[in-house]
């Protein structure tokens, strides 16, 4: 199985801050890396797929980058509605494992 | 816009079988998508359970593979999850979702509690 190590597990930030979350795979996943946002009581929402492609309708302040085993998710200017938990997920091979999640708090 | 809706019992007895169905609208289960199940225990992270293609190909999480079956019903445009020999550790919100590259569309999720 491919293990996904996401960091940090939580962070405190303010509106307007730049926020960065990293995800490391235990082997190369060839950019088959997705990022999701989950708010309390809601289903996750796909934000970024294939490491850097923005899902339709998602604001451009969200971005992703990386290749091989190391990936980064960035919110360029944190907005009040962005306080949530973020997960990475590899879709390179089954089981399609998730990272542990990063809770973004005020 | 694809819409998915989970349905099934919210309470399952220990050692019993958890059975959920996901109704699909706005797309066909016979499309090129893969149809997935993901779960989330209360207060914890996301766990991928498995997926199915309309051809019948399936992949399961090895940690659950001995207990899980995912099937598709083309006539009803739905797919299903069965998890046998459940314990309290299987208590979770269960989501159905589709995958093209990422998991694009999700059901609202259904809480299944394992308790006597």
Pick from B48, B99, B109: CB nearest A95: B48
Q: For A21-35, how does the pLDDT look when each residue is reduced to its tens digit (9 = 90+)?
A: 999 999 999 999 999
Q: What is the pLDDT of residue B98?
A: 95
Q: What is the pLDDT of residue B32?
A: 87
> Is A95's CB within 8 Å of B59's CB?
yes
Distance CA A42, CA B86 (A): 25
Distance CA A75, CA A10 (A): 15
Q: What is the pLDDT of residue A55?
A: 96
Mutate to test the interface with A, among B41, B42, B101 (most CBs of A within 10 A): B101
Parts of chain B with a pLDDT under 50: none
**What are the angstrom distances between the C-alpha of A51 and each of A7, A28, A62, B46, B88?**
16, 13, 12, 19, 35
CB < 8 Å to A92, chain B: none
> Is A44's CB within 8 Å of B95's CB?
yes
Pick from A91, A94, A98: CB nearest B101: A91
Please report the number of interchain residue pairs, chain A to chain B, with beta-carbon separation below 8 angstroms: 66
Q: For A31-73, how does the pLDDT look when each residue is reduced to its tens digit (9 = 90+)?
A: 999 999 999 999 999 999 999 999 999 999 999 999 999 999 9
> Is B101's CB within 8 Å of A1's CB?
no
> Is B101's CB within 8 Å of A94's CB?
no
Pick from B47, B48, B102: CB nearest A49: B102
Q: What is the pLDDT of residue A5?
A: 98
> Is B106's CB within 8 Å of A94's CB?
no
What three-state secondary structure class fits B41? coil
Q: How far is A2 from chain B (nearest CA, A)?
A: 11
Q: How confident is the model at residue A83 (pLDDT cuts 50, 70, 90)?
A: very high
> Is A49's CB within 8 Å of B45's CB?
no
CA torsion angle for B101, B64, A24, A79 (degrees, to 10)? Answer: 60
Q: Are A97 and A89 in contact (CB under 8 A)?
A: yes
DSSP symbol at A82:
G
């Amino acid at each position: 199985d491919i293990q996904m190590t996401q960091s940090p597990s939580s962070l405190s930030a303010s509106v307007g801050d730049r926020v960065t979350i990293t995800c490391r795979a235990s082997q190369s996943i060839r950019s088959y890396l997705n990022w999701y946002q989950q708010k309390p009581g809601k289903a996750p929402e796909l934000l970024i797929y294939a490491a850097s492609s923005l899902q339709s309708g998602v604001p451009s302040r969200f971005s992703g980058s990386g290749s091989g085993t190391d990936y980064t998710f960035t919110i360029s200017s944190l907005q009040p509605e962005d306080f949530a938990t973020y997960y990475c997920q590899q879709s390179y091979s089954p089981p399609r494992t998730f990272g542990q999640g990063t809770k973004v708090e005020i | 816009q694809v819409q998915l809706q989970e349905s099934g019992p919210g309470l399952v007895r220990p050692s019993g079988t958890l059975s959920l169905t996901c109704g699909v609208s706005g797309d066909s289960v016979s499309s090129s998508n893969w149809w997935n199940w993901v779960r989330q225990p209360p207060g914890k992270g996301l766990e991928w359970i498995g997926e199915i293609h309309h051809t019948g190909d399936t992949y399961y999480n090895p940690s659950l593979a001995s207990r899980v079956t995912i099937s598709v019903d083309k006539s009803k445009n739905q797919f299903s999850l069965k998890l046998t020999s459940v314990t309290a550790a299987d208590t979770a919100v269960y989501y159905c979702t589709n995958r093209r590259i990422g998991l694009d569309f999700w059901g609202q999720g259904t809480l299944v509690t394992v308790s006597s």
